[in-house]
Amino acid sequence: MNYAEGYEVKGLGLPGREASYDSNSRVPTGFHNGRTIYYVFGRYPSDTSEERYPVIDLVVCHGDFLNADHTYVHKNDSFRGFGSYGDLLVRDRKMYVAPTPFALAEGTSGQATLIVPAETEIDGRLERVGELVRVETEKIVIGYNFDLQSNVLTPQLAPNPSAGKEHHFAAYRLKGQGRGPVTMKNVEQAKKQLLIEDTNDAV
């Protein structure tokens, strides 16, 4: 009760899908209902049949590293009137697919890493091993349209009032644990990896 924090845990099989994860009916964010939100990603051997197995690597990251917008409010909606008799209900139940820290940063494989806003006060048992910067996109999605005849989903874009704004983060490990720095991946490299998983997921 002394710390207004929330944690969401995500397990990722390795080898397997590791660049993104499904965020069902909730957009990732670093602040929700008065709490600072952290996401815990652990990768484990996907081919194991054991009830207990090792965690290969672990990343605990502040939600703002995944998405810095705290203003969006998720809502499912529906309408009735679809179908030949006009009495079918269509539900708009959104699912969000967010990148994982493994898609965004290098140097996390085989390590236990903490990623927090750069200004965060940190326990002296940790050492800083990386400076990470995420830059807001030029355009943001403000809506979408789905054509039921052509089955085409079309996003509606608008200029981002915060375009180009930098969000600075720092990576930490326990002193004397792990090796090598943590750095941001090239943006195009990360997008390519996400696109591959999107394509495989659609098949």
Residue 145 placed within a domain: no
Token pair of 19 as six digits: 């660049």
Residue 178 placed within a domain: yes
Q: What is the pTM of this model?
A: 0.88
Residue 152 placed within a domain: no
Residue 147 placed within a domain: no
Residue 150 placed within a domain: no
Domain that residue 18 falls in: 5-135+164-202
Of 49, 51, 40, which Cα lies nearest the Cα of 12?
A: 40
> What is the full per-residue pLDDT of the chain (203 aa) written as tens digits?
667 889 999 999 888 888 899 988 789 999 988 899 999 999 999 887 777 888 999 999 999 999 999 998 889 999 999 999 899 999 988 889 999 999 999 999 999 999 999 999 999 999 999 999 999 999 999 999 999 999 999 999 999 999 999 999 999 999 999 889 999 998 777 777 777 777 666 54
Number of domains in the chain: 1
Residue 156 placed within a domain: no
Residue 159 placed within a domain: no
Find all residues with CB under 8 Å of 131, minimum gap 6, and list them.
118, 168, 169, 170, 171
Residue 146 placed within a domain: no
Q: Name the burial class of residue 115, with classes exposed (0-12), middle (13-18) and buried (19+) by CB atoms within 10 angstroms of its CB.
A: buried
